[in-house]
Amino acid sequence: MASKNGSLRTRIVVERKKVRLAGKELWALTYNGQYMPPTLRIKPGDHLRLAMVNKIDKMTNLHVHGLHVSPSGHSDNIFVMIEPGETFHYSYQFPRNLAPGTYWYHPHPHTLSAPQTAGGMSGIIIVDGLRRYLPKALRNITERVVALKDFQWVDDQIKTADLSIGAPTTRVVNGQLNPAIHIRPGETQLWRIANIGANIFYKVALPGHRFRVIARDGNPVTKTYSVDTIVIPAAARYDVLVEGGPPGTTALKTLPYNTGTAGNQFPEATLATVVSRGKAMTPAQPPSAFAPARDLAKAKIAARRTITYTENAAGTQFYINGKQFDPNRIDFTGRLNTVQEWTVRNNSDETHTFHVHTNDFQLMSTNGRPQTFYGYQDTVDVPPRGNIVVRTSFEDYTGKTVLHCHILNHEDKGMMSVLEIVDGPAAPGTRKDPAAPGTRKD
């Protein structure tokens, strides 16, 4: 569903329906009756109006993951709860400087985020504009969405209760089991690889090929880089260039991945089969320098915060700074037009992820090792018994929002905090428009 003339108006119906999935007929939680619902395609500055109709027996809501938009009112407000039988009208006015790339949408009602997302409720959002950073020879290349979802099933239904992260699961791409992805020898394609599942990790590899990363979590990189594998925790996205190899087939795989002694061991699996055939093309020269971005390394730091992840011995309760989520408590405060530095400590024996709404962040270090600045992101791994340091700039919007572990089982069991962004002075060299949508707390 693509915007036109600056606007996209759409409707999403949440309902439990039977879908055909991986050769089975299974009851799933669906958007518009589909396990793989419509991709929403917008441009910076667009207005998205979305009516959400709740036809299931539990409350739900919607989060437009990673998008820089107001967290208040009828916008990206995860404190809204849509009760069974109700319709809620979302209205998102996106800024003109919205970063182009791949995003996604999913439910965010506390205690129900994991079962509803695992049950099938997630889809892709694309913000157009990434191609303008590519050389002219690559601006008309084939683009493919590679949406990674997984499901556990029992009898004739996708499992939504008592979810075990390490249990055997079926991994699908765009709702298909091991689909074919076609490419010509030497052809360059843009793949939007997105983990839009609830809990699990992927370590994606295409043997004999390398991925040229051009965007991470909906943010174009400052300079592209090439890797053999990409570790993609739940919620993360990578936009990559892929070059077709010699004629033949190659398995797109997720490799074995271990998240720690208290975590999970994910086995190898085939995700899709890449078929290289047809008339060979002359390989294109991939770009090096890419998109500009403000490096926060020399920014003035208004405040420093420490965010500590812990869990109980049984792995059934999860905490941030010793507290479980309370929507009525303000845990952290940020002032508009300032930069803060956060140290996130993981005092457990499994990998957690760190995710924040409304404003993305720059990863400064992991376990004390400085990280190369490639741009911003909204999700990052925090290693067992380790730490990360990030910097974030509060821009454009005030209101209540959240930060949390994006392993949704952990979020639902307490690992989430409320962040309130409050009004502040205009940053030097910027113009603050008090009439701009979403700049005031509702």
Report the C-alpha gap between 246 and 186 in whole angstroms.
8
Indicate whether this model's pTM tops 0.85. yes
Same domain, 230 and 307: no
Instruction: Determine, yes or no, domain membership for 427.
Output: no
Report the C-alpha gap between 20 and 63 in whole angstroms.
26
Counted domains in the chain? 3
Domain's final residue, options 74, 102, 129: 129
Residue 377 CA, chain-centre distance (Å), reads 9
Instruction: Determine, yes or no, domain membership for 285.
Output: no
Q: Are 386 and 354 in contact, with CB atoms under 8 Å apart?
A: no
Q: Is the pLDDT of residue 427 over 60?
A: no
pLDDT confidence band for 425 (50 / 70 / 90): low
pLDDT confidence band for 437 (50 / 70 / 90): very low
Same domain, 145 and 101: no
Same domain, 91 and 159: no
Instruction: Determine, yes or no, domain membership for 439.
Output: no
Bridge partners (DSSP) of residue 363 are 390
| Residue 16: other Cβ atoms inside 10 A | 16
pLDDT confidence band for 127 (50 / 70 / 90): very high
Tokens found for residue 281: 């093309």
Instruction: Determine, yes or no, domain membership for 282.
Output: no
Backbone angles phi, psi at 132, to 5 degrees: -65, -20
Q: What is the pLDDT of residue 442?
A: 28
Same domain, 152 and 271: yes
Q: Is the pLDDT of residue 439 over 90?
A: no
Q: What is the pLDDT of residue 434?
A: 34
Q: What is the pLDDT of residue 441?
A: 30
Radius of gyration for the alpha carbons in the chain, expressed in angstroms and rounded: 21
Same domain, 304 and 337: yes
Determine what percent of the chain is predicted with pLDDT higher than 90: 95
Same domain, 267 and 302: no
Report the C-alpha gap between 421 and 336 in whole angstroms.
6
| Residue 244: other Cβ atoms inside 10 A | 23
Same domain, 137 and 112: no
Same domain, 116 and 174: no
Q: What is the pLDDT of residue 431?
A: 37
Mean confidence (pLDDT) of the chain:
95
Backbone angles phi, psi at 138, to 5 degrees: -115, 5
Same domain, 68 and 158: no
Instruction: Determine, yes or no, domain membership for 436.
Output: no
Instruction: Determine, yes or no, domain membership for 440.
Output: no
Residue 38 amino acid letter: P
CATH of the domain at 347: 2.60.40.420
What does the pLDDT average to over 142-164? 97
Same domain, 139 and 270: yes
Backbone angles phi, psi at 92, to 5 degrees: -115, 120
pLDDT confidence band for 46 (50 / 70 / 90): very high
Q: How do residues 79-114 score in pLDDT, each as one tens digit?
A: 999 999 999 999 999 999 999 999 999 999 999 999
Q: Is the pLDDT of residue 435 over 50?
A: no
Q: Is the pLDDT of residue 348 over 50?
A: yes
Q: Are 101 and 16 in contact, with CB atoms under 8 Å apart?
A: no
Tokens found for residue 324: 């479980």
Domain's final residue, options 276, 305, 331: 276
Q: Is the pLDDT of residue 426 over 70?
A: no
Q: What is the pLDDT of residue 251?
A: 98
pLDDT confidence band for 39 (50 / 70 / 90): very high
Report the C-alpha gap between 399 and 271 in whole angstroms.
40
Residue 194 amino acid letter: A
Instruction: Determine, yes or no, domain membership for 242.
Output: yes
What range defines the domain where residue 194 resides? 133-276
Nearest to 348, CA basis, from 408, 415, 402: 415
Tokens found for residue 261: 């002694």
Bridge partners (DSSP) of residue 21 are 24
**What's the 3-state SS for the chain?**
CECECCEEEEEEEEEEEEEEECCEEEEEEEECCECCCCCEEECCCCEEEEEEEECCCCCECCEEECCCCCCCCCCCCCCCCECCCCEEEEEEECCCCCCCEEEEEECCCCCCHHHHHHCCCCEEEEECCHHHHCCHHHCCCCEEEEEEEEECEECCEECCCCCCCCCCCEEEECCECCCEEEECCCCEEEEEEEECCCCCCEEEECCCCCEEEEEECCEEEEEEEEECEEEECCCCEEEEEEECCCCEEEEEEECCEECCCCCCEECCEEEEEEEECCCCCCCCCCCCECCCCCCHHHCCEEEEEEEEEEECCCCCCEEECCECCCCCCCCEEEECCCEEEEEEEECCCCCEEEEECCCCEEEEEECCEECCCCCCECEEEECCCCEEEEEEECCCCCEEEEEECCCHHHHHCCCEEEEEEECCCCCCCCCCCCCCCCCCCC
Instruction: Determine, yes or no, domain membership for 217.
Output: yes
Same domain, 151 and 268: yes
Nearest to 401, CA basis, from 305, 330, 341: 330
Same domain, 300 and 397: yes
Report the C-alpha gap between 230 and 218 in whole angstroms.
16
Q: How do residues 172-230 score in pLDDT, each as one tens digit?
A: 999 999 999 999 999 999 999 999 999 999 999 999 999 999 999 999 999 999 999 99
Report the C-alpha gap between 372 and 290 in whole angstroms.
15
Report the C-alpha gap between 376 and 352 in whole angstroms.
19
**What's the 3-state SS for 358-395?**
CCCEEEEEECCEECCCCCCECEEEECCCCEEEEEEECC
What does the pLDDT average to over 119-137? 97
Q: What is the pLDDT of residue 432?
A: 37
